Chain A
Amino acid sequence: MNTKLTLQEIGNLLDRSSNQLDRTTLDGLYSARQHSLRHRRASTPTWVSQDGTLHGHLHLSHRAYNWLIAAIVVTLLTINLSYWYHTSDRDHSDIDIAILTDDLPVDMYVD
Chain B
Amino acid sequence: MQVLFRKLLFPLLLLAAASLPLVAVAQPWNSLNAQQKAALAPLAGTWDSLSEKRQAGFVAIAKRYPQLSPQKQQRLHEQMEKWSRLTPEQRMRAREKYKAFKELPEDKREAVKKMVREQQAASAVDSTPP
Contacts and interface: CB of A to CB of B under 8 A. Distances in A.
Which bracket fits the contact residues of A?
35 or more
Interface in A57-80: 62-63, 66, 69-70, 72-73, 76-77, 79-80
DSSP majority for the A interface? helix
B89 to A, nearest CB: 9
B21 A89 contact: no
Contact of A66 (B9, B79, B101, B116): B9
A1 B62 CA distance: 93
Contacts of B75: 100-103
Which bracket fits the contact residues of B?
35 or more
A28 to B, nearest CB: 27
Contacts of A110: 86, 90, 93-94
Given A69-B13, A84-B21, A96 B68 contact: no
Nearest to A109: B94
Nearest to B80: A100
Contact of B53 (A72, A90, A111): A90
Contacts of A95: 95, 98-99
Interface of A: 62-63, 66, 69-70, 72-73, 76-77, 79-80, 83-84, 87, 89-93, 95-111
